[in-house]
Amino acid sequence: MFPPRCKFLSLLLVGASCMPFCLSPAHAQTIDYSTLEQMFREPITTSATGQAQRARDVPANMVIITQDDIRQSGADNIPDILRYITGIDVETSAIGSSDVGIRGLNQADNPDLLVLIDGREVYLDDYGYVDWGALPVALSSIRQIEVVKGPNSALFGFNAVSGVINIITYDPLLDHENSVTGAGGTQNLREAYGVVTVHPNANSGVRFSGDITRQSEYAPYSSIYTGAVGTASNWSGFLDAEAKFRATNRLILGLGVTMEDGEELSAKLPGAMTEDRRRNNSIRLTADADTAAGAIAVNIYHNEYDFNPGASAVQLVDSKYVAQLSDTAKLNANNVVRIGIEFRRNAVTGSAIDTGKVGYDDVAASAMWDWRILPSLSFTNAFRADFLSLFRSGAISGGDPFTNADYNSTRLTGYSYNSGLVYRLSGNDTFRLLTARGLQLPSLVNFGSDTNESIYFYGSPRIVPSVLTNYELDYNRSIRAINGSAGIAIYHERLVDILAGPFDSAMSFGPYDVPYYVAGNFGNAKRTGVEVTLMGRTGGGIRYNLGYTTGYGEDHTSLEPAGHAPLGNINFARSAPRDVVTGGLGITIGEWEMDTSLRYQTAIQQARGGAGGFGAPNVLVTIPAYVSASARVGYRVSSHITVAVTAQQALSPALAETVNQKVGRRIIGSATGSF
């Protein structure tokens, strides 16, 4: 049953009013990562429970990528940093367009992955994806990237289903990062980016970062709208400004603004490309306070993304408002709790919904309890409940099976959880037993599409969230002899009520045998896998890592793999590689840094539109097994200047990762000045 909204809010407010009388003060939410890293002698996270923890002690499977890792990778974008992480799948369709998936069960655009930049979502609710080329974050401004595998909605928030990519930048109040990088290379690459931090006084700080990039495509492409073959020049630019002010010893206020603009080639349809024009802006307010009730955090932001693919008439404006309030408190030495409430309004307008407007209001409540049962044993449980109300207004076509009244009367409710038992057998051995449930909400186009491209495509207020449940056992051992660690993770995931948008669903026929497609839920899939990792470094400056993952999937959907959907039916059992090997080796000798990374993966299958044109049956295409590699050589000219040369996708002039165009080899030279 969908509970009355007023009753739910009343109970939540009553619970919150009791907190000051039962909780003791906690640490502030603005975290001094540098001090914590020196204390723990390794990267630290506070994202999962609000406490400073090593990655191996977190009640989730987490990998932390440091700024040193980012620099040594030689990558000029985040997907290329992630492609060599065990359990991550990266599929590149164009020089500025990639999909990132975690642990298989991959769909086009991978709509079940949460990406955060300092607590702000960059997930786009219109088609349900992350535009990796539009992220307004300079690589030099990133302190660390936390990769969290598996459902984590209850710990990290909305739509964290297959996993989380949590990007944490340097704090303008506590850090002093200043650098500028210029780069150039093949594909006519010209790029400049940097970060500058200003401290007007001891209680305030402002960080500016930005990037300007222009580059050519790997090869000519086929336009989906005109059928013509052409070339594209990708360009983008952004400015990010964040200010923090210490109002009192117990209160820190923050303001962040980002502005991004660009054009990129992307694969909205398998086998055909579009030149997408976009504008991407956001504003964010934060407040972090130490109080008698605990560490209270307020996070309020607005994102707006304007999207127009190529020469088409399709134009969408994706608008998101989010307000979050949380309280993290330490009851005693062994118990930490966090409660939170969130409101969001996501809406989209544009021709894809017949000039109307569709959206939803979502109210969510969450709670987390971290209990240290013994010094070596902790038990963490988190729960989140979402209460969603759909709305729609404006024009609707006569053939649409749903009316605005159907939307405005639709209510959805769902819950997610995370539960993790962490046992530190000794100073070197850690076991984790995890289970979690995450919700993937339909995109706004899946809810409310109303388009006519000679064939009719309709969203549906009747579709329900997809649910991913995970069961996992992890073991990690620190090996002092190699100054490193080894780990193994065994997991089983089950995805039910798989979402298929109007462009992915099965064909139906209306009056006079007019074909149309309606979004819906079309079955389930599951995957069982094993991940093995080894990493370390020697006293001689050598660093290395090795990873292997294998998985077996099953696909049980009512969509035929080669059926009549015009876009992308998915064979989940083959959408991710069965076996993947990743490895890296690096060495520092004096002022020189030399690193190389490698990835081998077995074949996958993807769907591509058939030769009969728009609406023709799909064809499943096999992407052969491949090996990709990158290498970087860097030289520190002085204490303030570093130069580097990077070869990306170095083993082949052209490599197929998707059914779209092949990925070309890239050679990039860069110079970085720090001050």
Helices (H), 237-349: none
> Considering just the CA atoms, what is the radius of gyration of the chain in Å?
24
Residue 197: band (very low, low, confident or very high) from pLDDT cuts 50, 70, 90: very high
φ and ψ of 342, to 5 deg: -145, 140
Residue 582: band (very low, low, confident or very high) from pLDDT cuts 50, 70, 90: very high
Please identify which residue in the block is written with the tokens 């599409």.
449
| Residues 616-666: tens digit of each pLDDT | 556 778 899 999 999 999 999 999 999 999 999 999 999 999 888 889 999
Report pLDDT for 138.
Answer: 94
Domain range annotation of the chain? 5-674
Residue 157 CB: number of other CB atoms within 10 A? 24
**Residue 262 to residues 236, 237, 385, 473, Cα–Cα distance (Å):** 4, 6, 37, 43
| Residues 47-99: tens digit of each pLDDT | 888 888 888 889 999 999 999 999 999 999 999 999 999 999 999 988 988 98
Residue 228 CB: number of other CB atoms within 10 A? 10
**Residue 395 to residues 216, 351, 355, Cα–Cα distance (Å):** 40, 10, 6
Residue 15: band (very low, low, confident or very high) from pLDDT cuts 50, 70, 90: very low
The more confidently predicted of residues 455 and 47 is: 47
Q: Which letter does DSSP use for residue 124 in this model? A: B
In the numeric block, which tokens belong to residue 112?
A: 């079940």
Report pLDDT for 618.
Answer: 65
Instruction: Choose among 236, 245, 277, 239: nearest CA to 258.
Output: 239
DSSP bridge partners of 579: 550
**Pseudo-torsion of CA 100, 105, 108, 109, nearest 10°?**
-40
pLDDT at 345 over 90: yes
Residue 200 CB burial class (10 angstroms; 0-12, 13-18, ≥19): exposed
* Beta carbons of 344 and 381 less than 8 angstroms apart: no
pLDDT at 26 over 80: no
In the numeric block, which tokens belong to residue 145?
A: 């990237």
* Beta carbons of 256 and 242 less than 8 angstroms apart: yes
Report pLDDT for 149.
Answer: 95
d(CA 236, CA 239): 11
Query: What number is the average pLDDT over the span 183-199?
Result: 96
In the numeric block, which tokens belong to residue 487?
A: 């780990």
Residue 372's H or E segment, with its range, is strand 357-374
Report pLDDT for 230.
Answer: 66
In the numeric block, which tokens belong to residue 580?
A: 């993947």
**Residue 105 to residues 156, 267, 450, 525, Cα–Cα distance (Å):** 21, 19, 28, 7
Residue 436's H or E segment, with its range, is strand 429-440
**Residue 576 to residues 5, 107, 585, Cα–Cα distance (Å):** 41, 9, 25
Residue 57, SS3 per DSSP: helix
DSSP bridge partners of 207: 197, 242
Between the two ends of the chain, the Cα-to-Cα distance in Å is 59
Residue 597: band (very low, low, confident or very high) from pLDDT cuts 50, 70, 90: very high
d(CA 326, CA 366): 9
d(CA 470, CA 102): 13
d(CA 494, CA 524): 7
d(CA 178, CA 185): 24
Edge to edge, the sheet with strand 142-149 lists 61-66, 142-149, 163-169, 113-117, 120-121
Residue 273: band (very low, low, confident or very high) from pLDDT cuts 50, 70, 90: confident
| Residues 458-515: tens digit of each pLDDT | 889 999 999 999 999 999 999 988 889 999 999 999 999 988 877 666 666 665 566 6
d(CA 262, CA 238): 9
Residue 546's H or E segment, with its range, is strand 542-557
Query: What number is the average pLDDT over the span 395-424?
Result: 91
Q: Cα–chain-centroid distance for residue 645?
A: 28
pLDDT at 569 over 60: no
Instruction: Choose among 665, 634, 647: nearest CA to 72.
Output: 634
* Beta carbons of 29 and 328 less than 8 angstroms apart: yes
Report pLDDT for 24.
Answer: 30
Sequence-distant (6+) residues with CB within 8 A of 300 are 284, 285, 286, 322, 323, 324
Instruction: Choose among 75, 242, 101, 222: nearest CA to 164.
Output: 101
**Residue 24 to residues 51, 235, 329, 331, 332, Cα–Cα distance (Å):** 15, 51, 6, 6, 8
d(CA 161, CA 436): 9
The CATH number corresponding to 5-674 among 3.40.50.1820, 3.40.50.20, 2.40.170.20, 3.40.50.300 equals 2.40.170.20
Residue 561: band (very low, low, confident or very high) from pLDDT cuts 50, 70, 90: very low
pLDDT at 598 over 80: yes
In the numeric block, which tokens belong to residue 589?
A: 């000798």
